[in-house]
């Protein structure tokens, strides 16, 4: 038997990558896919590592390392964000690119999956240093991206301003404004104002749909949100606007709790002014770990991967878990939650609102025309609710004794495999 690690690929031993492979294997077994297909699917089609030397304000030059992983293009050009984080690893980037393949497939977008990352703590850089880093990263990956090749977007600690630098750098290189080369651009240069809320809005939408099934609706139901970036904060905002009570939120510095509910808009102001939710007055302090175990109806893990594991899954009390982050629940934890009768709405379904809005932006960029914010949100609403329905029904029909993720993965992986077969790749 040839061992998997024999490939010597630099991501083989990464725990996040191994989790992504485990999820793929679980679903491959259910779909009856041969091992060789799994072997093809578990590796990215292309993986590029780049060196980014940045001249700091001090005059000193430091080197950052970045990657772009292009996992699969059977359904279209690679698509997925770029994250800046001090703990990014090559394995994490490859895993995230694989998740993008499934996410885009499940949402029936005309895209394959890709992801990028730079190992950097952006809070330690000045705006000028960040600009230099961003432009140099994009220049370094420019030969493998393009409107019809690979279309990056924001992810953890990157934003529309980062996209503006990417877009500008690339447009200068090719000699024309390449509107469609990145999405989630500022609205003044080809982006959509509603892109920023889309991921969180989608996370809230699928939680609302799930609440109709198992909680008799959202009215008065309690919610805890881990992570208060663009995903967590808008999920909290919309869930509270639709009648739920957000009792706890957190960020990397800690969490806050008030059983009477938090004023989400106020928490947003505090976060923007002071950089952390913990400075919100009318609540008691809790830790990120405690937040996950609160006796709430809906839990939104919207920070990072691997936060609900076999160690704490039993203590999670929420009936609905809507995955704002990518990979917050490990496969072992997923099983435990399913046995307890909780619904973990998988990331590739729950947080697809961002990339779906990216697709709407990209389509209009390619056509050279603009869509109104209202039309764009309506489209997104329909896409997310249709997707939820599709996965929920497939789950109930075929896999109700297993986590909901299995149904989502089965649909997504099967579509990619079919495309690969039709194209004669397997």
Closest CA to 328 of 291, 382, 297: 291
Compute φ and ψ for 205, nearest 5 degrees: -60, -45
| Residue 349 Cβ vs ligand GLU, minimum distance, rounded to whole Å | 11
Angle at 288 (CA atoms; ends 287, 290), nearest 5 degrees: 65
Beta bridge partners of 256: 249, 285
Closest CA to 402 of 13, 3, 27: 27
Nearer to ligand GLU, 336 or 413 (CB): 413
- What the block records as the tokens of 343 is 């619904």
Which residues in the 294-353 window bind ligand GLU by CB under 6 A?
A: 326, 351
Mention every residue, 6+ apart, whose C-beta is less than 8 A from residue 171.
177, 178, 181
Which residues in the 244-283 window bind ligand GLU by CB under 6 A?
A: none
| Residue 7 Cβ vs ligand GLU, minimum distance, rounded to whole Å | 26
Nearer to ligand GLU, 56 or 189 (CB): 189
| Residue 154 Cβ vs ligand GLU, minimum distance, rounded to whole Å | 6
Nearer to ligand GLU, 154 or 255 (CB): 154
Member of 12, 26, 155, 305 binding ligand GLU (CB under 6 A): 155
Residues assigned a catalytic role: 115
Closest CA to 222 of 240, 206, 234, 210: 240
Beta bridge partners of 322: 345
Between CA 145 and CA 407 the distance in angstroms is 32
| Residue 347 Cβ vs ligand GLU, minimum distance, rounded to whole Å | 8
CA-based end-to-end distance of the chain: 21
Fill in the per-residue mask, 115 to 154: x = in contact with ligand GLU (CB under 6 A), - = not in contact: --------------------------------------x-
Closest CA to 343 of 408, 289, 288, 290: 408
Q: Which residue is nearest to ligand GLU (CB)?
A: 81
Nearer to ligand GLU, 280 or 388 (CB): 388
| Residue 330 Cβ vs ligand GLU, minimum distance, rounded to whole Å | 18
Nearer to ligand GLU, 18 or 159 (CB): 159
Between CA 135 and CA 113 the distance in angstroms is 22
Nearer to ligand GLU, 71 or 245 (CB): 71
Between CA 134 and CA 111 the distance in angstroms is 24
For the chain, the residue count is: 426
Between CA 81 and CA 366 the distance in angstroms is 19
Between CA 245 and CA 89 the distance in angstroms is 37
| Residue 326 Cβ vs ligand GLU, minimum distance, rounded to whole Å | 6
**Could you say whether residue 355 binds ligand GLU (CB under 6 A)?**
yes
Which residues in the 51-110 window bind ligand GLU by CB under 6 A?
A: 79-81, 103
How many CB atoms within 10 Å of residue 236?
A: 30
Residues 295, 322 contacting (CB under 8 angstroms): no
Between CA 277 and CA 53 the distance in angstroms is 34
Residues 412, 394 contacting (CB under 8 angstroms): no
Member of 69, 183, 330, 387 binding ligand GLU (CB under 6 A): 183
Side-by-side strand order, sheet with 112-119: 46-55, 61-72, 112-119, 78-85, 150-154
Member of 77, 117, 354, 403 binding ligand GLU (CB under 6 A): 354
| Residue 186 Cβ vs ligand GLU, minimum distance, rounded to whole Å | 15
Nearer to ligand GLU, 82 or 248 (CB): 82
Write down the residue that tokens 């939710």 correspond to: 277
Nearer to ligand GLU, 204 or 283 (CB): 204
| Residue 34 Cβ vs ligand GLU, minimum distance, rounded to whole Å | 29
Binding site for ligand GLU (CB under 6 A): 79-81, 103, 153, 155, 183-184, 326, 351, 354-355, 358
């Amino acid at each position: 038997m040839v061992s998997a690690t024999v490939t010597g690929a630099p991501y083989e031993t990464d725990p996040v990558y191994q989790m992504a492979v485990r999820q793929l294997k679980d679903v491959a077994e259910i779909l009856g896919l041969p091992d060789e297909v799994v072997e093809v699917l578990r590796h990215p089609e292309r993986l590029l590592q780049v060196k980014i030397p940045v001249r700091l304000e001090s005059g000193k030059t430091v080197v950052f390392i970045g990657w772009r992983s292009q996992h699969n293009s059977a359904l279209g050009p690679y698509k997925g964000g770029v994250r800046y984080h001090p703990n990014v690893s090559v394995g994490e980037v490859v895993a995230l690119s694989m998740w993008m393949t499934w996410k885009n497939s499940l949402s029936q977008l005309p895209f394959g999956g890709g992801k990028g990352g730079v190992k950097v703590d952006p809070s330690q850089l000045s705006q000028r240093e960040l600009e230099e880093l961003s432009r140099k990263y994009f220049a370094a990956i420019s030969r493998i991206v393009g409107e019809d090749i690979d279309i990056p977007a924001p992810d953890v600690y990157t934003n529309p301003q980062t996209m503006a630098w990417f877009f500008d750098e690339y447009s200068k290189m090719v000699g024309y404004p390449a509107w469609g080369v990145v999405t989630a651009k500022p609205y003044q240069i080809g982006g959509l104002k509603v892109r920023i809320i889309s991921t969180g809005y989608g996370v809230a939408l699928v939680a609302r749909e799930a609440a109709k099934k198992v909680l008799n609706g959202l009215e008065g139901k309690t919610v805890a949100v881990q992570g208060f970036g663009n995903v967590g904060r808008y999920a909290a905002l919309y869930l509270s606007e639709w009648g739920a009570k957000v009792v706890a939120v957190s960020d990397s510095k800690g969490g806050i709790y008030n059983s009477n509910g938090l004023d989400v808009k106020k928490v947003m102001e505090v976060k923007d002014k002071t950089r952390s939710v913990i400075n919100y007055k009318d609540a008691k302090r809790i830790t990120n770990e405690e937040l996950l175990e609160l006796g709430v109806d809906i839990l939104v893990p919207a920070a990072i991967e691997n936060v609900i594991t076999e160690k704490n899954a039993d203590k999670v009390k929420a009936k609905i878990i809507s995955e704002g982050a990518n990979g917050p629940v490990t496969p072992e934890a997923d099983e435990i939650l399913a046995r307890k009768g909780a619904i973990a709405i998988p990331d590739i379904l729950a947080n697809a609102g961002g990339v779906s809005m990216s697709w709407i932006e990209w389509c209009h960029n390619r056509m050279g025309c603009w869509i109104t914010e209202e039309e764009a949100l309506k489209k997104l609403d329909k896409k997310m609710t249709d997707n939820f329905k599709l996965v929920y029904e497939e789950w109930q029909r075929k896999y109700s004794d297993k986590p909901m993720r299995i149904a989502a993965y089965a649909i997504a992986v099967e579509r990619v495999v079919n495309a690969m077969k039709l194209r004669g790749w397997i």
